[in-house]
Structure 1
Amino acid sequence: MRFISTEGRAPPVTFGEAVLEGPAPDGGLYVPERLEPLTQADLDALSAGSLTDIARFLARRLFGSGLPEDDLAALLDEALNFPVPLVEIEPGVHCLELFHGPTLAFKDIAARVMSRLMSRITARGQDTTVLVATSGDTGSAVAHAFSGLRGFRVCVLYPQGLVTEAQRRLFTTLAGNVTAVAVEGVFDDCQRLVRRAFADEDLRRARPLVSANSINIGRLLPQVFYYFHAWAQLARAGRHQGDPALVVSTPSGNFGNLTAGLIARKIGLPIDRFVAATNINDVVPAYLESGRFLPRESAATISNAMDVGHPGNFARILHLYSDCGDTLTALRRDLAGHAFDDRATRAAMWDMYEQRGVLLDPHTAVGYLGLKAELKAHGGTGIVLATAHPAKFAEVMRSAAGIDPPAPAALRRCADLPERIIGIPAEYGALRGVLTGGRH
């Protein structure tokens, strides 16, 4: 298996090289050179498998043969050691609960797999710095995945004042090899600074850098596993038999999660249609409607992990459909876009709690609204990805549903611990100083 850049000007690399490189040297993002379709026999076997069974099978297909099979199986068993259940929340609508990992968000799954992959493929010697920008949940997932891991240091950039206290404390209270950097700006500023760092050849010669955002193919591909896991649970329960369509709604910000779903479909996962559900940062739904991709500065919302005005993974989605002739028409066939403001999001959170006793965090609420809109228009059975535990958004839950979700142990443990934060302006020189100076 080789990996190529979406820009097409970088030489192909192995999976291990792509993981350590992060962005390609031509500024593009790595994607698999080809995606091998699964057979019906493969799908039959996967439908009967557990999450780790599915991960082992797909990892061999998606990662290539760089790791011994026993080693790959062991790291996946270690990384995916928590449940990912599919729960029916109303007739024909199911939630895939991706928030049972150590930081209560879907990003635990890919971050834990990626950290263990990197520990096996990184050359020993000088510490490698894992540089990551977060709009909410990525930072804590990556920080926990690499916390205490020999040979790595972690630097997490986040927009000051634009993540919840629970999200922030999950990574600012970690000691040891984790540094939290509060940037005076928005998530797009954090992402811009990360890109500048990876383009700084002098810095990278002095300090090995790897990316842990979904721009890294090692963070992106493990997300394919749980799309198959959701379908397998639905198939075993017999809830989709005879239905005309299976629709999956993915709350979307930087669009790595949805890209993984579209890759799953490309290799044969029988999902009929996806929904790109966004808040008012709706550049992809707007593209699907108008045919024009017009990035803009992000706007703050209560679903803050989705506050992205220039989704980096959209280049991968376009590349995935580049062999379809008319890319836009092909995308519209497989993907619907729906966007919702905070008022609609709060109303959905309240309605689900009042009518069904179901607590949805604001991101999952956006996904639920997108799914309902698509099912109303076209019918079928639906799955929404529940991307975060409601307790991570206690302030929003209180105002929208009038309830304080019980705090899981992960949040209780860090509630009173001291925070370690470095504040910087949204200027590359300030970040470079953190990466090269004694404070990091």
Structure 2
Amino acid sequence: MAYAGILDAFSRLIKKRQLRLHHVGQPPHVKKTPGAASAKHKPFSATLPRPPPHSFLLNSWRSIHHSVIGDRNLILMGPPGSGKTTVGRLLGQKLGLPVIDVDNDVLEKDWNMSVSDKLQDVGNEEFVEEEGKALLRWSASGSVISLSGSNPMHPASMKHLQENGIVVYLDVHAKEIVERLEDMKVDRIVGQSSGASMGDLLRGRKQFYKQWHDFRVLCEGGDTVEAIAEKVLDALKRYENSGSEAFISTRSICPEKGDPNGSTKTFSEVVVDGLASDGGLFVPARGLPSFTTGEWRRLMGANYVERAQIILERCIPPADMPAVKLGYIVEKAYGKNFACSQIAPVRHLVGNQYLLELFHGPTASFKDLALQLMPQIFAYCIPSSCNSLVLAATSGDTGSAVLHGFSCLNENDKQRIAVVSLFPENGISPVQKMQIIGCQSANGLSVGVKSDFDFCQKTLKHMLTNPEYTGYLTAEYGTALSTANSINWARLLPQVVYHGSAYLDLVSQGFIEFGSPIDVCIPTGNFGNMLAASYAKLMGIPIRKLICASNQNNVLTEFIKTGHYDLRNRKLLPSISPAIDILKSSNLERYIHLISNGNGQIVNQLFSQLESEGHFQLPNDLLQKVQLEIVADWCSEEDCLAAIHSAYHSTGYVLDTHTAVAKAVADRLQDKTCPVLIASTAHYSKFAPAILKALRISAIKQDPLSQLHMLQSMNLLPPAHEALWDTLKRAEHEKHQVCAADASVLMNHVETILPNLFLKIR
């Protein structure tokens, strides 16, 4: 066999990890700074296979393992009992690298005494300081390093280690750690005072671990050392190659063959661009990651913030956003802005129907779950030298959520990022309109358009994909355009989190057994929330059926039943559920791309036909896939009001008009054998006239604030939304501008706004 063939065969074996190659007795790459104590490494006593003797194979093997971490260290971090030392030894064997245990090989050598004796000698606080000083006097390269459980509590030494290392967080459930420590007869760890439980201390330690990790390995109950080591290696490979996690347009035909419509983008680029230049929407080329059943179980005891960080770490390449920065952003997004500490709680409604309450954010709608997070991600991703104008088209709720989310940026970011929200001047509820106006700020303005949402969204897309217009704004104002609608991937992605979290809450509250399927019913017009639920299903959440609920603008219902998407001779009908008054559903394009296995050609063909002819027919094979996953129906205005009335009188709970649409449809379509989770997408106060009518309240006053006063006086469940109330009071003193339904007029109007936001380039 030729040498090339041998190398090829050997490479395949390495990739499959069927051949384990190791160094034996190799001295660690330890550097001792002046004054440092000796840190002599103790090699394993076990006999391990040596690398191949042939020089060409040896060089090949070295290049493979060197390319993984080079001269950097692989640093294992986690609580005591997480398996850092044992996993580190196995990783050392697999990678052919020396292994350094900080406790045995650094601290005890430096102190000339055992760690336990040192802790007993100096006490908790001084121990952490002494531990940190010892690490600052020491360094290594090209090694696997197992930290002590308390090392991350000393910032200076962790920063020192991270300069030449990749920090891996072995995230083991606190309950399992406690059990392991009990088995090991360990009854006290660093930082534990008398009376404090081990569990509480371990939960408190998390704040230190999440400050330093480059990537996390989510350890499942019962994982073997071999399994954890393989997870580390897989995650390391992803970390090192995360820059290649590409995104493509849904209309990309053949990116691997250099098709101009198939050029790939990074996560940061798709966040900044918003919309692909060919008019398509960005999606990850390799799809979304999946979680094992054990990993979802691991998230059972986590709160919403922890779940969001762990899920998003898997979905956002660390090359674009480091895990630590992402964690900071997630904590800020889901902090004090939400009235409920659970962020998106699940409530039992009646029978086997449950509500996912998505309205506890500052603007009282499900949009907040994404739009408290997306602006922070956007600000991180855009170049520091660039101004950005974010455009948003709203059918009611998005506008206020976008304006509020971007107003929460820090002052420096608000100097270079501004928002213009387009909304149908007469196509949303009075409270929604007041809310959008009340959410305006120094870097956020609203514009009423004398048309409907579809026109606003179409104009927004035209602005983003018009090279003459975007080029002019860049040249004159140094300003790039982007969007915060769900056509932007960073806006859609956070919605996946609450579908996964809701399932875990159903289990943790004892409503269902883990692994039991559920149906999910969503009121939708733009299909983003439906798509996010479908993505959650792909990631491992056992969703049986998605139930698509429409109002009288039921184009999606007809499409799911017939495969015919037909906008011809169709007019948008104003309704009491205005947030789903949409005919042209943007995220349907992503869904068709998904079920067609990424067939950009068919997506391009269908949506080009929609643009030119106003309709398309989905091929039968794809229609069958749609109907296997989704069922659909629509709800009249009368049925919507009846659902609100019925729910209130049977449960005391008030549904908003959109949730009532979903409730009415779920009543018809669920087969009673499976629990159904209904997405409660907004607080009822935003639609006060319809709610008062449904509750049979006579003599309804026309003033929106008076209507809210009346609802508040009734002590309804859920209670009044205080943040919404504050925003509406501000709106009484604010003004907004109104434009004709003409794309060129809107484009000119946006340009006239820019001088008040950014300086013109001269």
- What corresponds to 2:235 in structure 1? none
Give the letter aligned to residue 70 of structure 1.
V
1:413 to 709, 726, 733: 726
Q: Deviations over 1:257-291 (max 9, x none)?
A: 11111011112111111111111111221112112
Give the letter aligned to residue 637 of structure 2.
D
Distance 1:313 1:307 in 2: 15
1:188–1:308 Cα contact (<8 Å) kept: yes
How far apart are 1:36 and its partner, in Å?
2.5
Answering whether residue 682 of structure 2 is matched by residue 388 of structure 1, we say yes
Greater mean deviation of Cα atoms: 385-394 or 233-242: 233-242
Q: Deviations over 1:131-186 (max 9, x none)?
A: 00000100000000001632211101000111122212222122311111110111
Report the 3-state secondary structure (helix = DSSP H, G, I; strand = E; otherwise coil) of the residue aligned with 2:347: strand
Answering whether residue 534 of structure 2 is matched by residue 228 of structure 1, we say no
1:316 to 570, 573, 590: 590
1:424–1:431 Cα contact (<8 Å) kept: yes
Answering whether residue 432 of structure 2 is matched by residue 167 of structure 1, we say yes
2:278–2:465 Cα contact (<8 Å) kept: no
Relative contact order, higher structure (CA 8 A, sep 6+): 1
Q: What is the 5 A alignment of 1:201-350?
A: 201-205=467-471, 206=473, 207-241=479-513, 245-295=517-567, 296-323=570-597, 326-350=621-645
Q: Deviations over 1:18-37 (max 9, x none)?
A: 11111111110011212232
Distance 2:331 2:589 in 1: 31
Greater mean deviation of Cα atoms: 35-44 or 237-246: 237-246
1:353 to 648, 653, 656: 648
Q: Deviations over 1:20-74 (max 9, x none)?
A: 1111111100112122322122121123322112111111222222111111011
TM-score when normalising by structure 2: 0.56
Report the 3-state secondary structure (helix = DSSP H, G, I; strand = E; otherwise coil) of the residue aligned with 2:536: helix
Q: What is the 5 A alignment of 1:84-123?
A: 84-123=344-383
- What corresponds to 1:5 in structure 2? 249
2:423 to 134, 158, 167: 158
Report the 3-state secondary structure (helix = DSSP H, G, I; strand = E; otherwise coil) of the residue aligned with 2:748: helix
- What corresponds to 1:176 in structure 2? 442
How far apart are 1:311 and its partner, in Å?
0.6
Report the 3-state secondary structure (helix = DSSP H, G, I; strand = E; otherwise coil) of the residue aligned with 1:380: coil
1:138 to 398, 415, 420: 398
Distance 1:302 1:438 in 2: 32
Distance 1:213 1:27 in 2: 14
Q: Deviations over 1:321-375 (max 9, x none)?
A: 1139922111111111111111110110111112211100000011112222222
How many residue pairs match? The answer is 439
Report the 3-state secondary structure (helix = DSSP H, G, I; strand = E; otherwise coil) of the residue aligned with 1:305: helix
How far apart are 1:203 and its partner, in Å?
2.6
- What corresponds to 2:277 in structure 1? 25
Distance 1:19 1:52 in 2: 22
Report the 3-state secondary structure (helix = DSSP H, G, I; strand = E; otherwise coil) of the residue aligned with 1:272: strand
Greater mean deviation of Cα atoms: 396-405 or 284-293: 396-405
TM-score when normalising by structure 1: 0.96
Distance 1:401 1:125 in 2: 54
- What corresponds to 2:267 in structure 1? 15
* Identical counterparts, % of pairs: 31
How far apart are 1:424 and its partner, in Å?
0.6
1:428 to 733, 743, 747: 743
How far apart are 1:244 and its partner, in Å?
6.4
Give the letter aligned to residue 24 of structure 1.
A
Answering whether residue 694 of structure 2 is matched by residue 400 of structure 1, we say yes
Distance 2:327 2:541 in 1: 22
How far apart are 1:126 and its partner, in Å?
4.4
Change beyond 3 A, Cα 1:342–1:243 = farther
2:358–2:679 Cα contact (<8 Å) kept: yes
Answering whether residue 292 of structure 2 is matched by residue 39 of structure 1, we say yes
2:362–2:724 Cα contact (<8 Å) kept: no
Distance 2:299 2:745 in 1: 48
Report the 3-state secondary structure (helix = DSSP H, G, I; strand = E; otherwise coil) of the residue aligned with 1:47: coil
Change beyond 3 A, Cα 1:283–1:127 = same
Give the letter aligned to residue 49 of structure 1.
A
Distance 1:45 1:367 in 2: 31
Change beyond 3 A, Cα 1:46–1:244 = closer
Distance 1:374 1:435 in 2: 45
How far apart are 1:317 and its partner, in Å?
0.9
Change beyond 3 A, Cα 1:414–1:272 = same
Q: Considering only aligned residues, what root-mean-square deviation do their CA atoms show, in Å? A: 1.8
Report the 3-state secondary structure (helix = DSSP H, G, I; strand = E; otherwise coil) of the residue aligned with 1:44: helix
How far apart are 1:389 and its partner, in Å?
0.5
- What corresponds to 2:57 in structure 1? none
Q: Which consecutive residues of structure 1, in runs of 5 or more, have no partner in the other structure? A: none
Give the letter aligned to residue 585 of structure 2.
P
Distance 1:435 1:4 in 2: 29
1:10–1:25 Cα contact (<8 Å) kept: no
Distance 1:280 1:274 in 2: 19
Distance 1:113 1:415 in 2: 23
Change beyond 3 A, Cα 1:242–1:423 = closer
Greater mean deviation of Cα atoms: 35-44 or 267-276: 35-44
Give the letter aligned to residue 631 of structure 2.
A
Greater mean deviation of Cα atoms: 22-31 or 40-49: 40-49
